[in-house]
Structure 1
Amino acid sequence: MKKAIYLFFIALIYSCSSGDSSGDDVPNENPVLTSITVSSSNGNQLDLFGTNTTTLTATGKDQFGKTIAIPGSINWSANNANVSVDGSGLVTGLQVGSSIVTASVGSISKTFSFSIVDSEPQSGTFVYVSDAVEFTTGPWKILRYDENGQNATTFIDDDLAWPQDILFLEDEGQVLISNLSSNKINRYDASTGNLVGSFATGISGPTRMKIGADNLLYVLQWEGNGLVRRYQLDGTFVDSFTDVAVDQSIGLDWDSAGNLYVSSFKDASVRKFDTNGNDLGLFINSGLQGPTNIWFDAQGNLLANDWTGNKVVKFDPDGNLMGNVISTGLNQPEGIDFFPNGDMLIGSGGTSEVKLYDRSGTFIKNLVASGAGGLVQPNAVRIRVIE
C-alpha cells in the first residue's frame, strides 16, 4: 500500500512539471524602444555670464526598462528663443528665462527643462586678458577677472585663432578680438561674450588695434605687406594708412603731436610716421630685443614692453635710451593697460601672470596669480569699467 501511494505522488509531480507552460509569467517578446531619458553635462541652469552651454544626451529604454540603442536620429527642439539647440544636443543659453528642450525619436519624446540666468555684475571694474596659450595650437580664450584679479571666468572661447588684442566698442555693446592665425577681427557681445560675426577679414595676421583721433580703427599686421590698415567702426575698410612696411608689427601709439609709432618685433625697432602716414624713419633702432606694446607717458617719453628682453624700457621724446623702468620679475611682457590712478597692468607670459605696477614701475603685486582661471600666456590686457 505504501508503495502504491508513493508511485501516485511521483506520477502527480511528473504530470505537473510536464504540463502546458503557456501560462508562465516570462514574456516572450523582443526588446523594442519604448522610452528615452535625457541627461545634461552641466545641469539644468545656464549662465549667460558663466557657463552658457551644455550637451544633452538621450538614452533609449526598452519595455523591460533596460538600455537599448536608439534607432535612427534624434530630433532636438526648444520651445522658445531663450536657448538654441543643434542636431547633436548642444544647448546654448541666449537670454534670461526658462526653456524646455525636447528630444524626439518617432512618436517617443522626452523633455528637459532649463533656467537661464545672467550672473554678470551690473557695474564695476573688470580685467580682460587674451590668452595665446601655446601660440599656434590653442585652445585659446579670453578670460575675465574682477578688479582684484579674482572670480575668473572664460568670457570668450568661440572662433578664436591666436587672439591678439581686445577692444571694446561701448556704444555698440560689442568687443573686437583680433586673430592672428585666421586673419580676421571678430565681433562679440560685450556683455555675454557671444559671437556676433566678423568685423573685418583678409588681414595678414592682425595684432594690435587702437582707435585714432580721427575715430578710425588702426590695425597692425604681423605678416603680409606690414602696412597699418584703417577701418571705420562698422568694419568698412578705409585704406592702408602707411606706405612703409613694419615687419611683425605688434605695438602702436601716438605722440602729443599726432605722429604714429609702430614697433617691429622682428627688427627690434620702432618706426615713426607723420599724421598723414608718411614715413619719418626709425625712431628707435637699438636698446630693444623684441618689443611688443609701446606707449607714451605724460612727459612724452616712449615706453616699450621688451618681450625678449624681459623688461620695460624707456626712451626720451627724441628716441634716446633712458634705461629700464622694470627689469626684474617680468618674463615675456605683453599687454598693457592703466587704472584711473595711473597704476599699470602688464601681462607676464613666461609666468602666466598679470602684474600690477605703479606709474613709476614699482611692483605692487601679482593682480592675476599664475594660472588663475587657466591662464597660460597673456598677450593682451584690457581694463573695463561698467557703470
Structure 2
Amino acid sequence: MTPYHRIPTPWSLRLQRLRHSALPVVCFGVCLATAVWLWQRQMPQAVLVGEADVVRIDVGAPGDGRLIAFRSPWTLYEAVEARQVIARLDDTAARFELDAAKLEVERLHKELEAARAKTLLAESDRRSNRLADVLRAVWESESRRLNVLDRALALEIAKVELQRREARLEYLQSLLDSGAANQMQYSDELLLHDKLQRQVAEAAAALAEAQSQRDAAREQLAGFPPLEEAPIQTLLAPLQAAVAAQEARVKQIEYQIAGLEVRAPMAGVIAAIHRWPGQTVRQGEPIVTIAAGESRYIVSYIRQEQQLHPEVGAAVEIRPRRIGSSPWRAVIDKVGPQVELIPEHQRRDPRLLEWGRPIRILLPRELPAVPGELFDVRFQPSDRRNRDG
C-alpha cells in the first residue's frame, strides 16, 4: 500500500482561520472587560434625584374654644406674614374668668383689712412701737401684693378689649377694601382702637409701678427680725395662701388670653383650611396648614449600589428639571446618619420600595426653587478623583 503524506496547512490559512474563529472571541472579551471597567468608572456619575425641601406646618389651636370671624374668610393659597393673626378664639370664657378673679381680689382686700383691724385691736393694750412698725410693714406688703393683682387684672381686661377692637378694625379694613364699608366707619373704629391702646399702655405702666411698690414693701419687711413678725405671719398664713393661689390664677388667665389669638409661625401661604369660624376646636387640633413659599435646601438619597461616599462641603452639580435650565454648582450641607426609605416620587419605580442615605444640599441664593421641585444631582469629577485616589 502506498503511504500517504499529510499535506501541511499553510500559515496564511492558519492565520485566516484564527481571524475567523478565535479573534472575534478575544475581541468580544476585551470589549466586554472594557465596557465593565468604563461602567464602573462612570457609575459615580449616575444622576441622583433631589427635591427642594417642602415645609408645611399645621397651626393648631392653643386651647379649647370656638373660632370667631374677625376678617373676611381665608382662602386657599392666600399669603400670610410671620406672626400675623390667622384665627381668633371666643373670649367670653376669659372675660368671665377675669370678672370672677376681680371679685376674688376685692374679697381678699376686705379680708386683709378685717384681719388688720383685728390684730391692731388685740395689740392695742401693748402700745409697742416696734410691734406697730412690724404690723404696718406686714400689712403694707400684703396690700401691695393685692394691688399688683388688681393692676394685672385691669391690664388683661384692657388687652381683651383691645383684641376685640383689633379684630373689628381688621374686619372693617377688609370691608373697606372691597367697598362694603365707608371711610367714616373705619376712622371711628380706629379712634376707639387708639384709645384702647393708650389704656393698655397706662395699665402696663400702673402694673409696673405696683410691682415696684410691692418689691419695696418686701424689702422693708425683710429688715425686721423673723421673731417679731412670726406671730403675725401665723395669723396671716391662710390669707397669704389665698393671695398666692389668686396670683397663680391670674397667670393662668394671662396665658389663656394670650392664646386667644392664633398667629402664623412663619411666612407662607394657606395650603389647607381645617376649621372655619363658628366651629369648636380642641387644644392641638389644626386650624390651617401653612406652606413655605420658598426652599433653602435640596434633599437627595444615595443608594447603596451607587458607591458614593458623600462628605459635608463636597461640591455637586444640580440642574432643575425645566426646559432650557442650566447646571448650578452647590455644596453638600448635611449627610444623614442612616439609610432611610426614599420618598415615592424620588424612586426609579414608584411601585418598588428603595432605601438610601439622605444628603442635604444648599441651594444657591441666585437659584429660585419652588418647594417640591425635582433636581438632577451629579457629583463633581474632582470629588470622584479624590475618592479613587
TM interval, shorter chain, is under 0.3
Q: Normalized per residue, which structure has more helix?
A: 2
Larger radius of gyration between Structure 1 and Structure 2 = 2
TM-score by length of 2: 0.18
User: More strand by proportion, 1 or 2?
Assistant: 1
Give the TM-score of the pair, scaled to structure 1.
0.18
Could you say which structure has the greater relative contact order, defined with CA pairs below 8 angstroms and 6 or more residues apart? 2
